[in-house]
Amino acid sequence: MKKKGNTCIVGLTWGDEAKGKIVDILAAEHDIVVRYNGGNNAGHTVAFEGETYKLHVVPSGLFHANATCVIGGGVVVDPKALVDEIVRHEGKAAGLRQRLLVSSRAHTIWPWHTRLEALSEKHQGKGKIGTTLRGIGPAYADKANRVHAIRMGEFLAPEHLRAKIERIVENRNLVFTKVFGEEPMSAAAVWAEYEPLGKTLAPMIADTTAYLLRAAAEGKRILFEGAQGTLLDIDHGTYPYVTSSSASAAGIWPGSGVPSRAIGQILGVVKAYTTRVGEGPFPTELRNALGDQIREQGHEYGTTTGRPRRCGWLDTFAIRYAARLNAVDGIVITLLDVLSGLAELKICTGYTVDGRPVAEFPDDPTVLERARPVLETLEPWSEKLTAARQLKDLPRAARAYVKRVEEAVGAPVRIISVGPDREQTIFRR
């Protein structure tokens, strides 16, 4: 790939588009990799030299020894999950602690967040969101509400933080005991567990906004790593079945401090079909043997929670909306190899609602629930694709599929992925 300054990798659907693989590849030609949204609800997979690594909150550029990895202020950090991840991967990610920066502005996830979310989802019953139960929603809610929020920078003043945790736990215990009839939690136990985590992370806590603005001015190349996907974006996604952060490219500026003008190119990632985890409308879902076949061929089980992913045809109508919203320069199609050997192959190019075609991707969840996909049949192929390294190595039907997706989405395909490994990738000029 040609060096093009700063780049953003963003999911165009409901997450798990293989952003991690693409970030890992592109990190080789960037100086800095920045996560700007979400937390350890994300599960990004990187595979090379026969090994597979699962990342949740550390940027997927960690395996490149020259890359500085930044966790931006828009991320919510579970200190325990972050330390676990650093320890798990530092053997393979040389010098990680010296080149990982965590924004002092990033908000934090605590045991009261995960516990509250578990209780809330349980009490919702059928009306639940189907979250990853990582405390993401409650942590962002506290950030917006300000009163009980804790930012990473507060670990640098432990005595202040200890007293604050006591106040917060006292308040949260009112909710646990009086609303849910549950046992209270112990502030002392929380502090005993989190004080050492804070000590471990303290050397990595920094004003990353200042760092990134300086780096951008010096011409350093920055790669922005989106978590989740545009259809899970709190503002632009399929609300309320979304995550609690700006999961589109709209999150880059608030989530990193780097103004959007500084971003060179935005690449939107899609799978060759569509998946979704958790609840919420999914117009192209295949609740049949074909959907099961795609799930098995694509190993579509969640990286974070292990839940089976719902599978369906590629929804180019939704992707076209996401591509416009992110102003993508190009798209990346991943997992194309998974479609080999299907008896039939379709893509969705529009929706009808109550029998009438709709012009725009629906803003109303009750309308989206009623949307029926307009499907176009394409020619399937049986050949395996994993050895292809250039477009011409793909069978004719697979090339035609890529071309049709490009037209339907209205953006050029820049990269095609035909297997989980770094090497199993086709770059287009």
Binding site for ligand IMO (CB under 6 A): 11, 14-16, 41-44, 129-132, 134, 136-137, 227-229, 232, 243-244, 277-278, 303
For residue 91, give the amino acid letter.
Answer: G
Nearest-CA neighbor of 415 among 399, 398, 428, 401?
A: 428
For residue 352, give the amino acid letter.
Answer: T
Instruction: Identify the bridge partners of residue 378 per DSSP, sorted by sequence position.
Output: 345
CA 230/CA 221 separation, integer angstroms: 24
Q: Which among Mg ion, ligand GDP, ligand IMO, none contacts residue 277 (Cβ within 5 to 8 A by kind)?
A: ligand IMO
- CB 152, min distance to ligand GDP, A: 23
Tell me whether residue 43 or residue 298 sits nearer to Mg ion (CB atom).
43
Strands (E), 123-167: none
Q: Which among ligand IMO, ligand GDP, Mg ion, none contacts residue 135 (Cβ within 5 to 8 A by kind)?
A: none
- CB 42, min distance to Mg ion, A: 6
User: Three-state SS for 68?
Assistant: strand
Q: Which among ligand IMO, ligand GDP, Mg ion, none contacts residue 21 (Cβ within 5 to 8 A by kind)?
A: ligand GDP
Tell me whether residue 135 or residue 198 sits nearer to ligand IMO (CB atom).
135
- CB 117, min distance to ligand IMO, A: 8
Task: Give the footprint of Mg ion on this chain (CB under 5 A).
Answer: 16, 43, 303
- CB 13, min distance to ligand IMO, A: 9
Sign of CA dihedral 143, 81, 35, 131: negative
User: Three-state SS for 317?
Assistant: helix
Query: Is 16 considered catalytic here?
Result: yes
- CB 415, min distance to ligand IMO, A: 17
| Phi, psi dihedral angles at 225 (to 5 degrees) | -110, 110
Which ranges of 207-363 would DSSP assign to H, the alpha helix?
A: 208-217, 252-256, 289-297, 316-326
Instruction: Identify the bridge partners of residue 414 per DSSP, sorted by sequence position.
Output: none
Tell me whether residue 96 or residue 227 sits nearer to ligand IMO (CB atom).
227
- CB 288, min distance to ligand GDP, A: 21
| Contact yes or no for 361/371 (Cβ under 8 A) | no
For residue 369, give the amino acid letter.
Answer: E
Task: Give the footprint of ligand GDP on this chain (CB under 6 A).
Answer: 11, 15-21, 42-45, 47, 298, 303, 334-335, 337-338, 417-420
Neighbours of 31 (CB within 10 A): 18
Phi-psi region of 257 (alpha: psi -120 to 50; beta: other; left: phi over 0): left
Q: Which among ligand IMO, ligand GDP, Mg ion, none contacts residue 152 (Cβ within 5 to 8 A by kind)?
A: none
Omega before 158 cis (within 30°)? no
Sign of CA dihedral 124, 128, 130, 131: negative
Tell me whether residue 143 or residue 276 sits nearer to Mg ion (CB atom).
276
Local structure of residue 229 (DSSP, 8 states): -
Instruction: Identify the bridge partners of residue 330 per DSSP, sorted by sequence position.
Output: 267
Neighbours of 50 (CB within 10 A): 6
Q: Which among Mg ion, ligand GDP, ligand IMO, none contacts residue 338 (Cβ within 5 to 8 A by kind)?
A: ligand GDP
Tell me whether residue 30 or residue 44 sits nearer to Mg ion (CB atom).
44
CA 21/CA 419 separation, integer angstroms: 10
- CB 134, min distance to ligand GDP, A: 14
Among the options 30, 44, 56, 236, which is catalytic? 44
Phi-psi region of 97 (alpha: psi -120 to 50; beta: other; left: phi over 0): alpha
| Phi, psi dihedral angles at 234 (to 5 degrees) | -60, -35
Neighbours of 32 (CB within 10 A): 27
CA 75/CA 91 separation, integer angstroms: 25
Q: Which among Mg ion, ligand GDP, ligand IMO, none contacts residue 244 (Cβ within 5 to 8 A by kind)?
A: ligand IMO
Tell me whether residue 16 or residue 142 sits nearer to Mg ion (CB atom).
16
Q: Which residue is nearest to ligand IMO (CB)?
A: 278
For residue 11, give the amino acid letter.
Answer: G
364: tokens are: 């109303």
- CB 8, min distance to ligand IMO, A: 14
Tell me whether residue 187 or residue 277 sits nearer to ligand IMO (CB atom).
277
Active-site positions?
16, 44
